[in-house]
Structure 1
Amino acid sequence: MPRSMASTYCVTRVRCMYVRAAVSLLAARQKHGVFRQATRQLTASNGNHVQFRLDERTAHSSLDLFKKDTGVIYRVLGLDPSHVQGTPERFRDWAVVLADEKISEGRHYWEVTVKKSQEFRAGVAEAHMSRDDCVGTSTSSWVFGYAQRKWFAMTNNKMIPVSLVGKADRVGILLDFEAGLLGLVNIEKVKVVHIIKAHFKTPLCPAFGLWDGELLTHSGLDEPEGLRGQL
């Protein structure tokens, strides 16, 4: 074989090898990408790991979101309502904010850390509850509240005292949608200290009210072992 033809043959063969390698690499990446996408979808659909942020569109003008919208701070003066985008989703009269995820099935657990606050509420509310109401004052929201150094459960404007909660700075919320149960969890003792029974008919959002200090949410958590038998 002439030298020129041999040289051309070698170059062509090397190019073919590079093309085959590139095609194999691309196929592997696509396959890995599909696998990762499927994994993300599987994780997202896990009924025990609801992951949410606070929805700024629903936040009252006295509430300021922080830490990538997982926390909220109460501002005494708040924002000038005229400087806040008016949306149908925003709470108008009460310092309330909803999460950006809707729950319509399954069992879910999240926690709340509160700092420098003497009055707050945490629980769930129907996604389309009236923005003129406060969480706990209507039949479309179910919350646990803290005020005057005492805990209470509240729905439809009825308050029931709750004891044995422990420290007010961090608590857990456990929701079983199908069973119609909402539990307040003492994290230190890993114990459900109070249960609200309801009949959930429409999608729910984690809901929060805050009248001083700051509140930080922790979602995407595993349900602590031992709670399943309590709720």
Structure 2
Amino acid sequence: MNGAAYLRVSTELQGTEDQRRAIEDFAFRNGIEITGWFQDPDVSGAVPAFEREGFREMLNYMTRENVKAIVVYALDRLGRSFTDIFRTLNELDKYGITVFSVRDSFLQTLDQSIRKLVLAVLAWASEYEVKLIRERVRLAMRRGEVQSKLNLIRKVSKISSESRKLIVSLYGQGWSLRRIAKALNLTLYSVRKVLVEEGVIEPNGCPRCSHKLFWDDIDNTYKCRNCGYRKL
């Protein structure tokens, strides 16, 4: 069987010689003749295999020479995550290309039942990995929201008594919350919080004008008699 060898190193501290010797030894023991060597030096595993110059060059060579096997030192040469590795193996499988891995014994066989099982496991791991990433993103966004609210609360607690009195006074003169916030360089939340803490407006008042909301039995919703706001 003819095969192409693929090497990848991501830093100057790594070299291809150890990978090359391991691949040569593996190919000799398994009756694979390496007819072409390809590499992507100084390329991160985060870069998808099909976007790497050396990998694409190897695929073009394999198409021209009708080579159907790739030998790599380890699966992480093809990608950093389960998702990347699965996508690469699955795509190569569609073209009838078999990948052998020196370090990963489960990819050292031509038994199709075993190779299909490996792809199925990688597919599951890929899906699970995607779910974990989404959950981490969701939690990170949630932490950001919580931190933002905590920062606002801390900001409100630092407002001086003089500023609090001024906020109450301006609101009593008919100033809107937005106008007060802009004049004093505060957030709308901070102004509303101060007025609630000072007992000037209801905690669950109208978000537009802060007047007390009333329940409308006909429309089954809270409304504001002052500005006409309806809670959806």
TM-score of the aligned structures, taking structure 1 as reference length: 0.25
Q: Which structure shows the higher strand fraction?
A: 1
TM-score of the aligned structures, taking structure 2 as reference length: 0.25
Structure showing greater relative contact order (alpha-carbon pairs closer than 8 Å, 6 or more residues apart): 1
